[in-house]
Structure 1
Amino acid sequence: MMPRLPRSAVHKAAIPLFMTLLAIFLAACVPQEDTTIAGNQQNDGGISGTGYSSGPVDGFGSIYVNGIRYATGDATLYIDGAKSNRDEREALGVGMVVTVTGNRDAQGDSGTAETVRYRPLLRGPVADISLDVDGLGSLTVLGRTVIIDRGTVFADRTGKGLIGPEAITTEQAVEVSGYPEGNDFRATRLAVLNDDGAIAVSGSVETATADTVTLQSETEVRYGTGTDLTDLPAAPEDWSGRVVHIRGNHSNGGLQADAITGLTGLGLELPADEDGEVEATGRVTSNWDESTASFGFNGARVTLTDRTEFEDSRKPADLKTSERIELEAEYRDGTLTAEEIEFLEEPTETAFEGALEAVGSVDPNGRVTHLTLFGVEMAVTPRTRLDLDDEGGALTAGDCVEVLLRPASNQPDGEGALALQLEREDDEGCEAEIEGTVTVVQNGGDTVVIAGVTVDLSGTGTSASVGDRLEVEGSWEGNTFQASEVEREDEEDDD
């Protein structure tokens, strides 16, 4: 059975009619606040002025990275190191880890991009698949283990359509974006490709000779006089420990490099000759070392000082391999010095419960392929775990269901969501509930968006911020979820 949404310790507030009318009057007289669209965490000011932002693409219009909207009308886009004339909507997708260079406004919640750079962590054929019924687990690509979790976005060959993990097969060419985790990669995005024989692999150099590079994952790549070497020392023996990105192809049973490029870190592409402020999300790749006052972050070395601030009373000793963090740092003379560090929670799923509004087409096996709940259309794949009572027959509009879903889209509005688990409930007394993370805030927190559903909190006396996880009960009014009871997840944990 799928875990049900908690219903305890909810916050209720009735607003007198006079206050409601007053609020409506004031709302009509005062312009609404600008909509804020979230990335990994709510922005609390962060860096401003010229700088760099590195993290997964959260949405478009122009482009959202780490919760910051960057206008990209005049930006130069680089894909795998090469200048691209494609529009960012065509070239990029949600979950791709990019580095944005640009200016931030004084409030730090928007900016103008000068450049946007993207390089995949990995590109090549799938050699092994180990995924559970929910599509979680790992793949092996070019000898590297790729971890698939709730936050991984799956994309089709167009890069825009979303697929389920069942579309991944052995020998299928894929492109992986994400972060290093030890010698493995944790995918934020995985896209299937037409196999043209091209490969790409990133990592730290273990050893290098005049014709071979071996990464710490024991991936060995040959290179020669025709290989383009960029931002690397002249002597191969000095490459050890450097983070590199390798492009090439399969040749004579091995991997042959066309280009090897030195990087600041994985998913962190900073020019050696331009200083600035950096905001980035990623993984700790080596533990805090007290003797050097530094730790590894996405393969780059980051130094701490007595001015480095930690959120939530954390400390340097908590910087351990695989921890997910958001880093604000000063970048000077090729060195990163941490100014502020925040530890981030792992991606969590969203749950809906309510009456289905629509059921889509049925595949040749008699299985429904799409359904709509609270205005959000979600895909149902062979990997979706179904718990349907035998007497109820096939799913139909009006059925009461509880769905565990993964919001995943090229737009920050919940389109393209994937149903992970679905359980049919008793239709009698079907309740409408939503559990998930707030990604958009309007009207001073009275209206929020969770997984593409607009939720009106004004009748509960509760407001919310981007990044809050809420459990909401109420009713679906056709285009808005009217909340009657609200609980914050952290408040439940404190009980």
Structure 2
Amino acid sequence: MKRNLLYRSIGLTASTLALGILSACGGGAGTSLDVADGGIRGTGSSVGPVSGFGSVFVNGVRFDTSGAELVSNDGVICEPDQNCAQPIEKGMILQVDGEWQDDLTGTAVSVEYDDTFRGTVSGVTQFTDSDGTIVRVEFEILGQRIIADKQTVFSKTTLTGLADGNFVRVSAWPLADGSYRAAFVGVSSAADQVSIGSSLVEIEGSVNELNQNLNTFRINGTVVQYPNTTDVFRDGLVEGDLATFEGPIEVEGEIALINGEEGIDADTIGIGETRRYDGDVDSDIEFVGSVADGYDSGTGTLTVNGLTVIIPSADVLEEGLTLADLIPGRLIQVEGDVISEGQVLAEEVESREVNAEIKGTIGSMLENGFELGGVEIRLTSNTLLSDDDETLSIAQLQTGVGVEVEGIERVVNDSVFVEAVKIEREDVDDPNSFEMEGRLAFMTQDPGYIEVLGVSVRDSEAEYEEAEGSRQSLLDSYSEQVLFVEVEYIRSGEEFVADEIELEED
């Protein structure tokens, strides 16, 4: 089956998720939200998860999609406000070809979506933090291990609700060990599956146990059978490439019994997730992905999504990111130039890995966000808004509203703030009580104050949990290594006072 070109005007209508027009929301002076932005001018490809609509937001850029063609063969055929089985959803990784400006607006020529995996979930394993909260799940689809965490966007299920037997579509980034990190996981009902077409399942991975006499091979232990015809291959692949191709192969087809075992009867075989990032030489590219091979000081490179990224100097690292931070598994955003096939010269690199969390009631409204438990929260056009399965609007983010914010601690010119990655509604019983998790930045020698996420919290009466997380233990080591703590605290007059402080495990 060939990849469909659906010549339709996407024209995604403005909704409460449109983060690029926040200044039009809210009330009078001091209550509206303006989005903090940054970026470079480019012409080429932008590949990343959707963060909002009203046009389409990818990698912080608001792309005008009127007249653009939507490219998909996975049943993703309509705008979010139209009545179809599977519209584009937040979190899905899109490839947008077009141009973008310094003001983070752009014009899309084409918008492409392709599932990374589709199939039935098995082997769900949940992982919890020290409080017993589920923070990560691992599961399989036809033998492929997939990791989802609190940054993953879920549709018709949740991080805690994903279960064996769910039929899902997954949009994900490849990791160095052959597993994948999910940006999006959405459950598809039987009715939803009809829109997908005959190629109901999709997997990708490295080919092994190739048998060209039987027209079979395996991906992650799952047997794949393909017809004796060249029509099954796409993306320039031919049968001979199955033995030599370096990189993931994508297979779409139907579940079938093959030589006595369950496998896939292939309809199409092509290049996997890495093909999204094959930009034209001398074009611009911006993308999000997990570091596969960490930064090599000898070559000045790292690998992400199958690309070799050249880091010319530490000057291209943004928002406090260091070369030492560029380790396998770190989620980053890269902007740069395609200088040869598979090579990108980076111009800007920033972390997209969540390292801060705050729960509580919104305090004062700020120009680019709001104050939450003393922490400055800044919204960008990458921020995702969520209220379970309901839409959360910018206009609802007002003083007195309970929220949970997951984000990235930024330190710019000695100013500390949290760039919000995801904001969810949260029921809060006491408007003066807060919880935060973040980097321990400072401690006084004697019980007095600690500083986390730019907030000074009095800890003289706090209970420190666990021996290795005792105050003296933290004091002895925080200046020599990066420590993260969870703090439960209250607002008392003009200061914040901690009730409990606990060392968070890495």
TM-score in terms of structure 2 length: 0.58
Tell me what 1:202 maps to: 204
Amino acid at match of 1:286: D
- The structure 1 residue matched to 2:247, chosen from 228, 238, 242, is 242
Q: In 2, Cα distance between the equivalents of 1:198 and 1:189?
A: 18
Q: 1:254 Cα shift? A: 0.9
1:174 aligns with 2:168: yes
User: Could you tell me how far 1:59 is from its partner in structure 2?
Assistant: 0.5
Matched, 1:186 2:187: no
Residue 88 (structure 2) pairs with residue 92 (structure 1): yes
Asked whether 1:352 is paired with 2:360, we answer: yes
> Is the contact between residue 95 and residue 112 of structure 2 (CA under 8 Å) also seen in structure 1?
yes
Indicate the SS of the match to 1:265.
helix
Structure-2 change in CA distance of 1:89 and 1:330 (3 Å): farther
Q: Tell me the secondary structure at the aligned position of residue 311 of structure 1.
A: coil
Q: 1:3: which partner in 2?
A: none
SS of the equivalent of 2:124 reads strand
Read off the aligned partner of 2:233 and give its amino acid letter.
L
Secondary structure at the counterpart of residue 353 of structure 2: coil
8 Å contact kept, 1:126–1:140: yes
Q: Does 1:326 align with 2:326?
A: no
Partner of 2:376: none
Give the deviation of 1:172 after TM superposition: 1.5
Instruction: Indicate how the Cα distance of structure 1 residues 306 and 155 shifts in structure 2: closer, same or farther if over 3 A, else same.
Output: closer
Shift of 1:56: 0.8
2:349 to 325, 338, 342: 342
Letter of the 1:431 partner, please give it: N
> Would you say the 8 A contact 2:97–2:111 is kept in 1?
yes
Give CA deviations for 1:172-222 in whole Å, capped at 9, x if unaligned.
20111122233222222211112558111133445655323444x455433
Offset at residue 64 of structure 1 (A): 0.7
Instruction: Note the C-alpha offset of 1:380.
Output: 10
1:45 aligns with 2:30: no
Which residue number corresponds to residue 265 of structure 1?
A: 274
Alignment of 1:112-127 (within 5 A): 112-127=107-122
Judged with a 3 Å threshold, the aligned counterparts in structure 2 of structure 1 residues 54 and 228 are, in CA distance, closer, same or farther, namely same
Residue 216 of structure 2 corresponds to 212
Question: Take 1:101 and 1:128, find their aligned partners in 2: how far apart are those partners?
Answer: 37
Post-superposition shift, 1:76? 0.8
Contact kept in structure 2, 1:311 and 1:343, CA below 8 Å: yes
1:141 aligned partner, one-letter code = I
Task: For 1:291 and 1:415, locate their aligned partners in 2 and report how far apart those are by CA, in whole Å.
Answer: 36
CA RMSD of aligned residues (A): 4.6
Secondary structure, counterpart of 1:230 in structure 2: coil
Residue by residue over 1:343-397, the C-alpha shift from the partner in whole angstroms, topping out at 9 and shown as x without a partner, is 4152354412389xxxxxxxxxxxxxxxxxxxx994599xxxxxxxxxxxxxxxx
Alpha-carbon spacing, 1:95–1:33, altered in 2? closer, same or farther (3 Å): same
Aligned position for 1:371? none
* Correspondence for 1:56: 49
Identity of aligned residues (%): 23
Cα pair distance change 1:218/1:306, threshold 3 Å:
farther
Opposite residue 283 of structure 1, the aligned amino acid is: S
For residues 39 and 423 of structure 2, what CA distance do their matches in structure 1 show?
31
Q: 1:151, 1:188 within 8 Å by CA — same for their partners in 2?
A: yes
Asked if the contact 2:292/2:328 (under 8 Å) is kept, the reply is yes
Shift of 1:309: 2.8
Are 2:243 and 1:251 aligned? Answer: no
Cα distance change on mapping 1:186 and 1:473 into 2, 3 Å: same
Normalising by the residue count of structure 1, what TM-score does the alignment of the two structures yield?
A: 0.59
Name the stretch that deviates more: 135-144 or 70-79. Answer: 135-144
Partner Cα distance (2:389, 2:313) in 1: 51
Q: In the alignment, what sits opposite 1:154?
A: 154
Question: Structure 1, unaligned stretches of length 5 or more?
Answer: 1-26, 37-41, 157-162, 356-375, 382-399, 408-412, 438-470, 475-483, 487-495
**Structure-2 separation of matches of 1:315 and 1:415:** 24
Q: 1:51 is aligned with what amino acid? A: G
Q: Deviations over 1:52-99 (max 9, x none)?
A: 1111100000111111111111111112478x7522655211111111
Contact kept in structure 1, 2:95 and 2:111, CA below 8 Å? yes
For the residue of structure 2 that corresponds to 1:321, the secondary structure is: coil
Letter in 2 for 1:202: E
Aligned to 1:236, what secondary structure does the other structure show? helix
1:396-407 aligned within 5 A: 404=404
Q: What residue in structure 1 maps to residue 63 of structure 2?
A: 70
- Aligned mate of 1:301, from 286, 300, 308: 308
Q: By how many angstroms is 1:287 displaced?
A: 3.2
Aligned to 1:228: 232
Task: Please tell me whether the aligned partners of residues 207 and 237 of structure 1 are also in contact (alpha carbons under 8 angstroms).
Answer: no
Structure 1 residues 60 and 342, CA, compared in 2 at 3 Å: closer, same or farther? same
Instruction: Provide the rounded CA distance (Å) in 2 between the counterparts of 1:205 and 1:171.
Output: 26
Q: Match for residue 144 of structure 2?
A: 144
With 336-345 and 139-148 compared, the bigger mean Cα shift is at: 336-345
Q: Distance in 2 between matches of 1:337 and 1:321?
A: 18
Corresponding residue number in structure 1 for 2:158: 164
